[in-house]
């Protein structure tokens, strides 16, 4: 197969599009797999020889013994989750060893971030994963964050932690009426983490740019999805990072000229976990059925995902924002057996038809989807490996998505395993 430069794999819905499987598939041809944003809120599921792996922080490339994996400066690191993940991988005989690197400028999620995340949820109800992601990024932007490199010097870490303790405890105790947080305990715990992290912490921007100069091939693994992006998502029901392709540059310290391809990943229908609008949400009975058929439960929190029809306005917006040239459609097999399918092609809003996804949540909340109906297919698609072998109705469904979204589909996934995939002619790798 032909290598077409470095590639960004990005979710074009509300996350959980099946990026883990697509990254696992494409990582075969990459030298480095790098993450640029998000943290332990992600849950990338990969099936290998009938074993299921769920990775929250470490890039999916780690499952290949020779791939280098990087967590960039834009990622927020929860060392406890990271070590649990590393230990779990080791139990499976997968060693992280000297092919894993963490940016010295990546911010650390500390216990008070998780406490604030949980406490704020009680009143704000954004449906966060409560992994402390939002509060960690808030401190980063507020310039009081603690970075991985700070953990490497006890005095620097102590100083910064102590400075934060007063403010954090005031907020926790006085505003949220929570128990306080003991900075001395954290100091000891995170000092130990720092020692364990030490061999992996480095200037990953330098590392990755050198690797690029040497002609190494890089796969940029997106986490969450474009509709959860802090700028382009359904604000405020979003995560706190740039989950769209633009975040790759700032989250890893590379220039846009280093990226040659952007592949958008879309599920054949739509899901979202947590609060916030989902205009094409199924009726409760279909919702329940699809959740069971598609095993739609959050990989990080176990929460049931809300399910709905494919929304062309969502995918078209994401394709535009990311500059995606092609799409991977996942979980097509989950639609097998449905009599009819719907695709949302517009929204009714106060007597008008909107043809583009609105940016204001207040508008979106009043929108009613306008659907186009298509015939379903009654055959199983899981064993199909060539596009021409898909049922005619399934091909029609995919063609219609291409027309509505304006880009070609290059990969169709018909099952969780790596080989349950159809690669199309326009897929260049």
Pick the binder of ligand IMP from 6, 37, 41, 186 (CB under 6 A): 41
Of 16, 150, 229, 311, the catalytic one is 16
Q: Interacting stretch for ligand IMP, rule CB under 6 A, among 37-45, 95-103, 148-156, 385-393?
A: 37-45
- State the Cα–Cα distance between residues 215 and 206, nearest whole angstrom: 14
Residue pair 310/401 in contact by the 8 Å Cβ criterion: yes
Nearer to ligand IMP, 23 or 42 (CB): 42
Residue recorded with tokens 């007063």 = 166
Q: How far is the CB of 45 from ligand IMP (least distance, A)?
A: 11
Exactly one of 44, 56, 107, 113 is catalytic; name it: 44
131 binds ligand IMP (CB under 6 A): yes
Task: Check residue 127 for interaction with ligand IMP (CB under 6 A).
Answer: yes
Residue whose token pair is 């499976």: 92
CB of 295 to ligand IMP, least distance (A): 14
Give whole-number Cα distances, 44 to 21, 59, 120, 229, in Å: 8, 9, 26, 17
Number of Cβ within 10 Å of residue 386's Cβ equals 9
Least CB distance to ligand IMP at residue 40 (A): 9
Q: Report the C-alpha dihedral over residues 198, 204, 206, 210, rounded to 10 degrees.
A: 110
Task: Verify whether residue 16 is a known catalytic residue.
Answer: yes
Q: Is 42 in the site for ligand IMP (CB under 6 A)?
A: yes
Tell me, by CB under 6 A, how many residues bind ligand IMP. Answer: 20
Among 15, 145, 251, 369, binds ligand IMP (CB under 6 A): 15
E strands present in 12-96: 32-35, 44-48, 51-55, 68-71, 76-77
What is the CB neighbour count within 10 angstroms for residue 66?
Answer: 7
The answer to whether 107 is a known catalytic residue is: no
Is there binding between residue 223 and ligand IMP (CB under 6 A)?
Answer: yes
Per CB under 6 A, the list member of 45, 129, 205, 326 interacting with ligand IMP is 129
Token pair 């069971």 in the structure block, residue: 292
Interaxial angle between packed helices 392-405 and 312-322, expressed in degrees from 0 to 180 and rounded to the nearest 10? 50
Would you count residue 315 as binding ligand IMP (CB under 6 A)?
no
Please identify which residue in the block is written with the tokens 């003991």.
182
224 binds ligand IMP (CB under 6 A): yes
Where along the sequence are the contacts to ligand IMP (CB under 6 A)? Answer: 15-16, 41-43, 126-129, 131, 133-134, 223-224, 228, 237, 239-240, 273-274
């Amino acid at each position: 197969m032909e290598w077409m430069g470095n590639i960004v794999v990005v979710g074009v819905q509300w996350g959980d599009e099946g990026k883990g499987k697509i990254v696992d598939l494409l990582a075969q041809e990459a030298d480095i797999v790098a993450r640029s944003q998000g943290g332990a809120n992600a849950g990338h599921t990969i099936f290998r020889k009938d074993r299921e792996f769920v990775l929250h922080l470490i890039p999916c490339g780690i499952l290949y013994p020779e791939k280098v994996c990087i967590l960039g400066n834009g990622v927020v690191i929860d060392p406890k989750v990271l070590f649990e993940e590393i230990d779990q991988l080791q139990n499976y005989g997968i060693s992280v060893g000297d092919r894993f690197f963490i940016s010295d400028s990546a911010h650390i999620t500390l216990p008070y971030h998780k406490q604030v995340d949980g406490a704020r949820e009680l009143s704000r109800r954004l449906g966060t994963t409560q992994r402390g992601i939002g509060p960690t990024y808030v401190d980063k932007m507020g310039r009081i964050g603690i970075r991985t490199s700070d953990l490497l010097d006890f005095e620097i870490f102590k100083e910064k932690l102590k400075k934060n303790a007063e403010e954090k405890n005031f907020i926790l105790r006085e505003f949220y009426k929570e128990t306080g947080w003991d900075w001395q305990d954290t100091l000891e715990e995170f000092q130990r983490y720092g020692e364990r992290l030490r061999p992996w912490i480095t200037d990953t921007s330098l590392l990755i740019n050198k690797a690029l100069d040497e002609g190494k091939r890089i796969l940029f693994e997106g986490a969450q999805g474009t509709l959860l992006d802090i700028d382009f998502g359904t604000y405020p029901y979003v995560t706190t990072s740039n989950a769209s392709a633009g975040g790759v540059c700032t989250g890893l310290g590379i220039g846009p000229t280093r990226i040659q391809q952007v592949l958008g990943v879309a599920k054949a229908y739509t899901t979202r976990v947590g609060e916030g609008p989902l205009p094409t949400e199924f009726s409760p009975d279909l919702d329940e059925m699809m959740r069971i058929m598609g095993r739609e439960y959050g990989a990080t929190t176990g929460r049931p995902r809300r399910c709905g029809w494919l929304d062309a306005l969502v995918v078209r917006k994401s394709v535009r924002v990311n500059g995606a040239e092609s799409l991977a459609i996942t979980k097509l097999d989950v639609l097998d057996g449905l009599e009819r399918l719907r695709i949302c092609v517009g929204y009714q809003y106060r007597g008008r038809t909107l043809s583009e996804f609105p940016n204001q949540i207040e508008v979106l909340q009043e929108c009613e989807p306008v659907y186009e109906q298509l015939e379903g297919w009654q055959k199983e698609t899981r064993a199909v490996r060539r596009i021409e072998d898909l049922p005619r109705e399934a091909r029609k469904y995919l063609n219609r998505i291409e027309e509505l979204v304006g880009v070609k589909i290059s990969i169709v996934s018909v099952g969780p395993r790596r080989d349950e995939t159809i690669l199309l002619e326009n897929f260049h790798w």
